[in-house]
Amino acid sequence: MKEEELRECAVCDICNEKIGSGGNINFYRVNVKSYVFNLNEMQRQDGLAMFLGSPALARVMGSDEDMAKLTDENTITVCADCITAPVLLTALSEDL
């Protein structure tokens, strides 16, 4: 990790303290992704599986579209002291 990128993640997103201030120099970058099912594609694939009589055959013959679409993506920095703390990641990632 280069200096500029390190400066961007110098503060823990949970406790808002500088990384390493508690004596532990380890930290984590956590990528939180939120997805939503693509119901139209799921129904199409299921219908093809029923028509062909085999989900495996439908997987090969189908359009290979995404069954879920990415709706949001956030990367958070967590210090070694907070990594074991119980945190609701969805609430934390929405604040960033």
Q: What is the pLDDT of residues 27-71, one digit of tens each?
A: 999 888 889 999 999 999 999 999 999 989 988 888 888 899 999
16 burial via Cβ count (<10 Å: 0-12, 13-18, 19+): exposed
Residue-wise pLDDT for 66-91, tens only, equals: 899 999 888 888 898 888 878 766 66
Tokens 């119901």 locate to: 39
Query: In one letter, which amino acid is 50?
Result: M
Count other C-beta atoms under 10 Å from residue 41's C-beta: 17
pTM over 0.75: no
Q: Bridge-partner residues for 70, per DSSP?
A: 35
